[in-house]
Chain A
Amino acid sequence: MILTTLILGLVLGSTYALLALGLTLQYGIARIMNLAYGELTLVGAFVLVAVFQQLGLSPLIAMILIAPAGYALGWFLYQGMMRPLVKRSGARGRLEVDSILATFGLLFLIQGILLMLFGANFTSISYLDRGVNVLGVSVALNRLIAFGICVVAGGALVLALAKTRWGLIMRAVALTPGSAPLVGIDVNKVARQGFALGTALAVVAGASIAMYQTFSATDGVVFTMKALVIVIMGGVGNVKGALVAGIALGLLETFVATAIDPGLTLAATFAIFLVVLLWRPQGLFGAR
């Protein structure tokens, strides 16, 4: 029972961690608080379902196509919609307000398009949903594959951020954008990359959710809120914090669903969120 909760919680938590990584990249590097983040996640989910059902493409191959497509989508969104906001914002506070308003609009735009294309019904696919024995617990294979994708994508990103020159540039811009031009860093280019990469993570997380979970075109806000909760719990811009908080939230939700009541998962999430916001606004791992 406990082992079941633990394993299922880890699987769910890995998806949440990936989801939160994308949001924290967008906010930390591009300084865009993206309220349409969950809708971008849904775009990934719906595209995966569509190519699986219409083209018969294996979700794993679809994933390889969805990730760069998400990067491109994010790139154009930043260039077309965010860049003008960044350009006219002198101080940082203005960009935050503007980006919240703009992405709030984007949320309904994407949601409308999704409703038009896919309708308001719950969507799911059946893909490799036979059980596999993990330490005596039966776990659906599709969940395990989604888990693998999240671990690989999230792990690769964390390594790249910590170890490569590219990662160092990303961290430098996230921490002290004002100093970046002094060492020849084009902050606009890096912000665009950060936003695009965040979008790629959003669609990959969405596509992996679609492999094992039912969802609908109006679920975006739930994903946004969960990602936001995790980001704040982990400390804004803190990649490792987002990973740990994401997995913790997955464990918590699974525990609440199995031990108390499935209907209470969202309530539990927000209870934790409130506690963190009130007592540790710098995040569980933040210093200050």
Chain B
Amino acid sequence: MLEVENLTVAYGKHIALDNASISVQAGQMVAILGANGAGKSSLLGAIGGRARPQSGVIRYNGQSLLDMPAHKLAEHGIALVPEGRGIFPGLSVEENLRLGAIPKRAREGATETLAEVFNLFPKLAERRGQIAGTMSGGEQQMVAIGRALMSNPEILLLDEPSLGLAPIVVKEVFSALTRIRAKGLTIVIVEQNARATLALADYVYLVEVGRITGSGPAEEIKSNPSVERAFLGGAVAPVNA
């Protein structure tokens, strides 16, 4: 469904991502794990049209995404929840969600999708009139994920949904992801929270200093002792550093 080949992303002289290749099959949940600054977000940002790669290929259902302006991606069923969430803090929760349904592919079933999102995040239904920027970080993350779902996506790209959230809220977000995943949506998730992500994902890529250093089914990665040390032990950079 999604093929990334030899992707290099650089900011000036700093190479954030070096020659990375990943592949995502329909219906899969793929996790990209790595420490802070490893290049995970650059990878996801390039797929989601937020970062311009130096070189490489990104193909989605056979079509190159690199020639496509960022605003066209939603129409092709690609929804990105970026780092920092990218919501509209000055608008209400409901307005944020309604904006998610702007792509033509999302308009027809928008009412049903809104009900589903409220079902998934009951808190958003309670606070539908609240200005999104006045909510807690976890609630804003729910708005961002809910808005992405409103676009009726085929593939959901999540950039560190647990970043900066309290552990109990992280749990809530991951339990929502479990339910989203159960609907069969293809998901690519970038995370520092390796343990929770490994419990959900089908396939995992490990990123270290701009390079993909390992990959495999989540089950294998989980039981690999060197991965255990690097990604699940105490060596991971603190969240919200």
Contact = CB atoms under 8 A, between A and B. Distances in A.
Interface of A: 165, 168-169, 171-172, 175-176, 178-187
Interface in B73-132: 73-75, 79-80, 82, 86-91, 95, 98-100, 102-103
B166 interface: no
B71 A187 contact: yes
Contact of A184 (B86, B90, B151): B151
A185 B90 contact: no
A181 B49 contact: yes
A280 to B, nearest CB: 19
Given A184-B71, A187-B71, A169 B88 contact: no
A266 to B, nearest CB: 34
Given A172-B88, A175-B90, A176-B89, A181 B99 contact: no
B88 A179 contact: yes
B71 A186 contact: yes
A159 to B, nearest CB: 16
A175 B95 CA distance: 13
Contacts of A184: 71-75, 102-103, 151
A168 B69 contact: no
Q: A165, A175, A178, A183 — which one has the most chain B CB atoms within 10 A of its CB?
A: A183
A169 B91 contact: no
B237 interface: no
B74 A168 contact: no
A176 B88 contact: yes
A180 B102 CA distance: 10
B70 A175 contact: no
15 contacts: A165-B98, A171-B91, A176-B89, A176-B90, A179-B88, A181-B70, A181-B73, A182-B147, A183-B100, A183-B147, A184-B73, A184-B102, A184-B103, A184-B151, A187-B71
B102 A179 contact: no
Given A168-B98, A184-B103, A175 B88 contact: yes
A165 B90 contact: no
A165 B102 contact: yes
Contacts of A179: 86-88
B99 A183 contact: yes
A281 B111 CA distance: 41
A172 to B, nearest CB: 5
B82 A183 contact: no
Given A169-B102, A183-B99, 11 more contacts: A168-B98, A171-B90, A175-B88, A175-B90, A181-B69, A181-B73, A182-B74, A182-B79, A182-B82, A183-B100, A183-B151
Contact of B103 (A172, A180, A183, A187): A183
Main secondary structure of the interface of A (DSSP, over half): helix
Contacts of B72: 184
A139 to B, nearest CB: 40
Contacts of B80: 182
Given A165-B102, A169-B99, A181-B49, A186 B69 contact: yes
A180 B71 contact: yes
Contacts of A176: 87-90
Interface string B28-49: 0000000000000000000001
Nearest 6 pairs between A and B by C-beta?
A184-B74, A175-B90, A181-B70, A181-B71, A184-B103, A179-B86
A182 B86 contact: yes
Nearest to A174: B90
A178 B86 contact: yes
A176 B133 CA distance: 11
Q: A168, A176, A186, A187 — which one has the most chain B CB atoms within 10 A of its CB?
A: A176
A179 B89 CA distance: 10
A187 B69 CA distance: 11
Contacts of A172: 88, 91, 95, 99
A168 B99 contact: yes
A43 B174 CA distance: 59
A176 B71 CA distance: 14
Contact of B102 (A175, A178, A185, A187): A185
Q: A165, A168, A182 — which one has the most chain B CB atoms within 10 A of its CB?
A: A182
A182 B144 CA distance: 10
A173 to B, nearest CB: 10
A183 B90 contact: no
A178 B90 CA distance: 13
A180 B80 CA distance: 12
Contacts of B151: 183-184
Contacts of B86: 178-179, 182
